[in-house]
Structure 1
Amino acid sequence: MTETFQSYIDMFRKFGTDLGLPKLDVDKLVDMQQKNLDALSQSAQTAAEGAKAVAQKQRSIIEESLREATALAQDFKPLGSPQENIARQTEFAKKVLSVAIDGARETHALAHESSTKVAEIIKGRLKDSVAELSSSVSGEGSAKK
């Protein structure tokens, strides 16, 4: 059976040589695919770390908002004049809104940084893959391996 399989390989090599098909370096192709998998793994890890950082930031924003709300609620005394009550409620709303806006900016920055890193990893690997693929193919007939 091995002889039959080898004869088929030889037949395809001869066919490729006769047609002038490019010669492939199989070892380079395997190495290239391993590098692709490594880059994919690295990009997935980077994305996961970015998602974790975003989640932690969102948690800290919620905690800070709750602390602000608790502090303001404890200081709130509705027995004052209506103007004082409105001023305190306005102050409370401004602080909570400010915390939310700052948190959204920081969360956006973290997400953008993470996605940029992932894109750079993939972009770099694609560029390298094209160069490696070009170097693994020559126009001198079929593969010898």
Structure 2
Amino acid sequence: MAKQPEPESFMDMFSKIGRDLRMPQVDVDAILSHHRKNLEALEKSARATAAGASSIMARQREVLQDSLREVTEFSQNYRAPGNPQELIAKQADFARRSFEAAVKNAGDVADIVKKSGAESVDILRARIKEAMDEIRQSYEKK
């Protein structure tokens, strides 16, 4: 039996139709470069987010260690005074210091989250602007 010729691939047929109709050439390298830049921007954004999460966890660990140290110091230095007013004053002072530390630490964590999110968004925003410039330039060439 005679060997049947291999049928053309879909891409070959599509390319032939494009040449026959004189359709504009598709710059595959430019498309890949564009998407590569998009993926790189997403990767940078993800790294910034991960760094922020790491900073938050480190700060929370510090807060926990400070809190445990403070509670330990308070309990070791605690001696029940004979006067109930002194006992209440010591407990109120400890509660006030604990509350102030909690508010300060919550503010610190919120700042870290804000900075991390802003950095991540700025990276993506810059890439979007760059992509829009690329598109505008490609139309200007034509």
> Which interval holds the TM-score relative to the shorter structure?
0.7 to 0.9
Q: Which residue of 2 aligns with 1:12?
A: 18
Q: Which residue of 1 aligns with 2:111?
A: 109
Q: Cα gap change, 1:117/1:16 in structure 2, threshold over 3 Å: closer, same or farther? A: farther
Instruction: Kindly indicate whether residue 77 of structure 2 is the aligned counterpart of residue 75 of structure 1.
Output: yes
Q: More relative contact order in 1 or in 2 (CA 8 Å, sep 6+)?
A: 1
Q: Which runs of 5+ in 2 are unaligned?
A: 1-6
Deviating above 2 A after TM superposition, structure 1's stretches of 4 or more consecutive aligned residues are: 1-8, 12-17, 22-26, 133-140
SS at match of 2:29: helix
Q: Sequence identity, in percent? A: 29
What is the aligned length?
A: 136
Q: Which runs of 5+ in 1 are unaligned?
A: 141-145
2-side partners of 1:83 and 1:4: how far apart? 90
Query: What code does the residue aligned with 2:12 have?
Result: Q
User: TM-score, structure 1 length as denominator?
Assistant: 0.82
Query: What code does the residue aligned with 1:32 have?
Result: H
- Counterpart contact for 1:29–1:133, Cα < 8 Å: no
